[in-house]
Amino acid sequence: MNGWLAAACALLVLGLLPALAAACTGPVLRRVLAQNLTTVLTALVLLLLAQGYARPAYGDLALVLAVLGPAGTLVFERLLAEELAASPARTPFQRLMGLAGTAAVPPVVLALAVVTDPGRATVKLLLTGCLLLAGSAVCTRALTAAWGR
């Protein structure tokens, strides 16, 4: 077991389990935000696992998730619009979750980009990171807008 796998395990325990707990309780807005956070964290864990197992092909999973994850969250945003508009005001915890979804991406992606050999793999990694950041930001903004309506 190397450091990358250990980092993936740590992210799984410290990130995904709390996000799951947040997705199971509380108002709808918090649940959807937690679902968005789960998507981002899962993609990061997949990237770390790809490096840990030394199989760059596993990075494709993270790329697919970076594209499909925001689509899924936007589906919830669209079909739950009424309930989201009726849910109570945003709490600091929910703001923290929205922030964590974007703040967790750069450290992991940059650390991985440093150790991968320059070339197509680096480009793919950075593309995944950019997609994750953009998707998370768009989803958080759409959810906030849905609440304000």
**Site membership for another protein, residue 39 (CB under 8 A):** yes
In terms of Cα–Cα distance, which of 25, 141, 149 is closest to 74?
Answer: 141
**Closer to another protein by Cβ: residue 118 or 135:** 135
Q: What is the nearest approach in angstroms of another protein to the Cβ of residue 83?
A: 7
Which residues, at least 6 apart from 62, have a Cβ–Cβ distance to it below 8 Å? 43, 44, 46, 47, 50, 128
Which 40-69 positions form the footprint of another protein (CB under 8 A)?
42, 45-46, 49, 53, 55, 57-58, 60-61, 64-65, 68-69
Dist CA 5 CA 113 (whole Å):
16
Task: Pick the binder of another protein from 16, 81, 111, 121 (CB under 8 A).
Answer: 16
In terms of Cα–Cα distance, which of 62, 64, 46, 36 is closest to 136?
Answer: 36
User: For residue 65, what are its two tokens?
Assistant: 């998730």
Residues that bind another protein (CB under 8 A): 1, 5, 8-9, 12-13, 16-17, 19-20, 23-24, 28, 31-32, 34-35, 38-39, 42, 45-46, 49, 53, 55, 57-58, 60-61, 64-65, 68-69, 71-72, 75-76, 79-80, 83
